[in-house]
Amino acid sequence: MLNISSNSIIGQFPADDFRSFQETRLSRSNRFFVRWLVSALGIFIVFLFLPWTQNVQSKAKVTVLLPEHRPQTIHSTIPGRIERWYVREGQQIKAGDTIVFLSEVKSEYFDPQLVGRTQQQVSAKSGAIGAYDRKADVLGQQIQAMRIERVLKEQQLQNKIRQTELKVDSDSIELERARLEYTIAERQWKRTDNLYQQGIKPLNEVEDKRVKLQETSAKQIGAENKLLTSRNELINARLEFHALQYEYGQKIAKAESEQFSALSDRFAAEADVSKLEIQVANYTQRSGFRYITAPQDGYIAKALQVGIGETIKEGEAIVSILPAHYELAAEMYVRPMDFPLMRVGKKVRFVFDGWPAFVFSGWPGASFGTYQGKVVAIDNIISENGKYRLLVAPDNSEKPWPKELRPGAGANAIAMLNTVPLWYELWRQLNGFPPDYYDPNAKDLKPVKWDAPIKSIK
């Protein structure tokens, strides 16, 4: 009855006619549950060997790819007072369209003809430069003429000195001749006087010789005086030559000093002209800064200054605009533990707020409503929230991101990593291990275990 013997009697008699057999045998629902449980266990075991794509999930925010396409505020370059608005909030504008007109609030810029009058000062200073140039040229010509004149007079004095030197030589020769004649006359006088004492020569010859001696003595004295006079003339000529050099040196130095003063005044005038030209350029640029214009095509998001007659400071924000043309991107943040897994070009799946999606994070191919992107930039400095920021751009090889998507929208990011069996992923998650590292350039994408050394990031 208990059906514990190896010799079964089931089927040898109608068991359904006996109540005891009906109470002790298993019901069909129990047999169905056992079969279902065994089938579920088999399916679960098979399910554990299915491939699972490891991933890193984080919150993301839609932004724009290029910095110049991000929402921006327009600031006033100069302080001023708002005189007129040309736009309203939400209006579409083109690059160069006038947004607001400002008037000056500083007294030094009140003159409406400020640029023209400053330009007149530039013209006047430019004329002064021409006058200084002509003065320097005239002084240069004077210096050249004085140098030529000095050379000619030096040559004249050198000739005079040479003549005087020759005259000194001639007078020296005359003196030597006079001395020789004096010596001969003295000798003849003495000889004649001796002969007179002996009574050989008469007295008149002695007196003639004495007269001749006196004449030669007078000639000798005259020759000496003449030589001294010639020597004095030579000294005077040389002094005159040195005085000429000093005189013309002083004149030329004075003329050169005046020339340098004229050149200095010219350079100072050029510096003043440059300053005035800078002022003219600054005034011209400043007059253009009164009109605040749009730097690019876009939409007026919000007017940060309102009213007419309101005074604003230099560098103060006036209005914020949203560029009309931009490339969408998304910024996501990953934990420092997941940061080494990130590479430029890595695929990332997004689920944007407001777009329905059916997501299997481990089976991206079975997901619906997700959009793919690829990492284009990775920050090397940790953010204030303790995570690293990644910038992800749309992947052109997949379906495009929604056109209605706007910067600032939220999203869930799923960075795709290595493909492993599901049982391994469950084991990793239970133990808190990080995902497997792998070489994205390898053809077979074999994983490198988490405790293996990390290769350099390319």
pLDDT, tens digit, 9 for 90 and up, residues 12-39:
656 566 666 656 665 666 667 777 888 8
For 444, the token pair is 């077979």
Buried b (16+ CB within 10 A) or exposed e, 248-266: beebbeebeebbeebbebb
Q: From residue 177, how far is each of 172, 184, 210, 253, 298 by CA, in Å?
A: 9, 11, 19, 50, 118
Distance CA 337, CA 323 (A): 37
Topology classification of domain 50-68+327-448: Elongation Factor Tu (Ef-tu); domain 3 (2.40.30)
Task: Check residue 456 and report its DSSP letter.
Answer: P
User: Which residues, in sequence order, are bridge partners of residue 344?
Assistant: none
Distance CA 132, CA 134 (A): 5
The pLDDT value given to residue 445: 43
Please, what's the largest Cα pairwise distance for the chain? 224
Q: Give the HSE-up count for residue 115: Cα atoms under 13 Å, Cβ half-sphere.
A: 10
Instruction: Specify burial of residue 389 (Cβ count, 10 A radius: 0-12, 13-18, 19+).
Output: middle
Torsion, Cα of 307, 310, 315, 318 (10° steps): 0
Distance CA 140, CA 303 (A): 66
For 167, the token pair is 């005259």
N-term to C-term CA, the chain: 77
Q: What is the pTM of this model?
A: 0.54
Helix (H, G, I), strand (E, B) or coil at 87: coil
Please enumerate in sequence order all residues whose Cβ is within 8 A of that of 437, keeping only pairs 6 or more positions apart, or say none: 340, 341, 447, 448, 449, 450, 452, 454
Q: How far is CA 229 from the centre of its chain?
A: 80
Q: How many CB atoms lie within 10 A of CB 318?
A: 19
The pLDDT value given to residue 190: 84
Asked if CATH classification 3.40.640.10 holds for the domain at 71-104+290-323, the reply, yes or no, is no
Under-50 pLDDT residues of the chain: 1, 438-458
- Domain regions of the chain by residue span: 1-48, 50-68+327-448, 71-104+290-323, 114-289
Distance CA 268, CA 276 (A): 12
pLDDT, tens digit, 9 for 90 and up, residues 141-161:
999 999 999 899 889 989 988
The pLDDT value given to residue 456: 36
Instruction: Specify burial of residue 15 (Cβ count, 10 A radius: 0-12, 13-18, 19+).
Output: middle
Q: Which of 344, 290, 311, 346 minimizes the C-alpha distance to 56? A: 346
Distance CA 90, CA 93 (A): 9
Q: How many CB atoms lie within 10 A of CB 84?
A: 11
User: Which residues, in sequence order, are bridge partners of residue 311?
Assistant: 81
Sequence length of the chain is: 458
| DSSP state letters, 231-297 | HHHHHHHHHHHHHHHHHHHHHHHHHHHHHHHHHHHHHHHHHHHHHHHHHHHHHHHHHHHTEEE-SSS
Chosen CATH of 114-289 out of 3.40.50, 1.10.287, 1.25.40, 1.20.58: 1.10.287
